[in-house]
C-alpha cells in the first residue's frame, strides 16, 4: 500500500500525540543540557500543525507545507525552524506525486534531512536531530535498493533512528545550546535526536502497518 496524503496527515497526528505524551520527558532531557523547553516548543508547534491539517483536499506537498508553516511560526527554539525546514523540503521533494512507495518515502526523509543540515550545519556526531534522522534515511534508502516492502523499510528505519538517538548520550554537543556546556554535555541523550526518533517511529507506526 503506497503512502497517500491522508497517511501523511495520520503520521503528523501520531507524531504530535507522541510528543504530547512525552512532553515532560523531552523537557527533562532539554533541562539537562539546554534550557528545558524542547517538549513545550514541539508540543506547541505540533498541536497547531495537527489542527491545521485539512481533512480531505490537500495533496502531498500541500500537507507538508501546512505542517512546515505551523512548525516555523509556532514552535520556537532552534528546533522550530529546523523541523519547519524538514517538512518544507520534504514537501518540495515529493512534488505532485499522488502517493509514495518505499523509494518515495526515502526521498521525503532524505530531502527533509538535507534541509535540516543546510539550515543547521550539523554533521553526524554533533549530538543533534541529525544523529537520529541520518541512520533512518540510510535504512530507508537501503530498503528501497533491496526492494523491501514499506513495513520492513520503516521498521528498519525506526530501529536505526532509535540506535542513533541512544548513541548521542556519550557525545559532546557541537551545535546548538548544548554545545555551550562543552564536556559537560556528555552523558545525556540529546532531546532533538529523541523527538526525531519519535518522528520516524510515528511514520513506522502509521505507514508501516498499512500493508
Ligand atoms: P533551543 O535549543 O533553542 O532551546 P529546542 O530546545 O527546541 O531549542 O531544541 C533543541 C534541539 O535542537 C537539540 O537537542 C538539537 O537536537 C537540536 N539542534 C540544535 N541546533 C541544531 C543544529 N544546528 N542542527 C541540528 N539540530 C540542532
Ligand atoms: Mg531548548
| Predicted confidence (pLDDT) per residue in 178-197, tens digit | 999 999 999 999 999 999 99
Q: Could you give the C-alpha distances from 152 to 11, 109, 147, in angstroms and in order? A: 17, 16, 10
Is the distance from CB of 65 to CB of 9 less than 8 angstroms? no
Give the pLDDT of residue 54. Answer: 74
| Predicted confidence (pLDDT) per residue in 29-40, tens digit | 999 999 999 999
Provide the percentage of residues in the chain whose pLDDT is more than 70: 98
Give the pLDDT of residue 96. Answer: 85
Alpha-carbon span 153 to 148, nearest angstrom: 6
Mutation test residue for ligand 1: of 121, 165, 176, 189, the one with most atoms within 8 Å of CB: 176
Instruction: Residue 42: name the closest of 10, 9, 7, 82 by CA.
Output: 82
Structural domains in the chain, sorted by start: 5-210 (1.25.40.340)
Mutation test residue for ligand 1: of 24, 27, 30, 79, the one with most atoms within 8 Å of CB: 79
| Predicted confidence (pLDDT) per residue in 44-102, tens digit | 999 999 999 977 778 999 999 999 999 999 999 999 999 999 999 999 999 889 999 99
Alpha-carbon span 173 to 22, nearest angstrom: 22
Structure letter (DSSP) for residue 76: -
Give the pLDDT of residue 191. Answer: 98
Q: Could you give the C-alpha distances from 107 to 101, 103, 148, in angstroms and in order? A: 10, 6, 15
Structure letter (DSSP) for residue 170: T
Could you tell me the pTM of the whole model? Answer: 0.97
| Predicted confidence (pLDDT) per residue in 114-157, tens digit | 999 999 999 999 999 999 999 999 999 999 999 999 999 999 99
Q: What is the mean pLDDT of the chain?
A: 95
CA of 1 relative to ligand 1 center, distance in Å: 34
| Predicted confidence (pLDDT) per residue in 13-30, tens digit | 999 999 999 999 999 999
Chain centre distance of CA 195 = 7
Give the pLDDT of residue 211. Answer: 43
Q: Which residues surround ligand 2, an ion (CB under 5 A)?
A: 30, 34-35, 37-38
Grid cell in block for residue 146? 533491496
Amino acid at each position: 500500500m503506497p503512502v497517500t496524503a491522508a497517511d501523511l496527515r495520520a503520521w503528523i497526528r501520531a507524531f504530535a500525540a507522541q510528543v504530547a505524551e512525552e512532553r515532560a520527558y523531552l523537557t527533562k532531557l532539554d533541562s539537562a543540557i539546554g534550557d528545558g523547553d524542547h517538549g513545550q516548543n514541539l508540543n506547541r508547534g505540533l498541536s497547531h500543525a495537527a489542527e491545521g491539517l485539512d481533512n480531505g483536499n490537500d495533496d502531498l506537498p500541500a500537507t507538508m507545507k501546512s505542517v512546515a508553516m505551523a512548525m516555523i511560526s509556532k514552535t520556537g527554539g532552534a528546533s522550530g525552524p529546523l523541523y519547519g525546514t524538514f517538512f518544507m523540503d520534504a514537501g518540495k521533494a515529493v512534488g505532485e506525486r499522488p502517493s509514495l512507495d518505499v523509494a518515495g518515502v526515502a526521498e521525503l526523509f532524505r530531502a527533509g534531512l538535507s534541509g535540516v543540515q543546510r539550515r543547521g550545519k550539523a554533521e553526524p556526531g554533533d549530538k543533534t536531530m541529525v544523529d537520529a534522522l541520518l541512520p533512518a534515511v540510510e535504512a530507508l534508502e537501503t530498503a528501497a535498493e533491496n526492494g523491501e516492502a514499506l513495513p520492513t523499510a520503516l521498521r528498519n528505519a525506526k530501529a536505526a533512528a532509535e540506535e542513533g538517538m541512544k548513541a548521542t548520550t556519550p557525545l559532546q554537543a557541537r551545535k546548538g545550546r548544548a554545545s555551550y556546556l562543552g564536556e559537560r554535555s556528555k552523558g545525556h541523550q540529546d532531546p532533538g535526536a529523541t523527538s526525531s526518533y519519535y518522528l520516524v517511529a510515528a511514520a513506522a507506526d502509521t505507514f508501516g502497518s498499512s500493508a
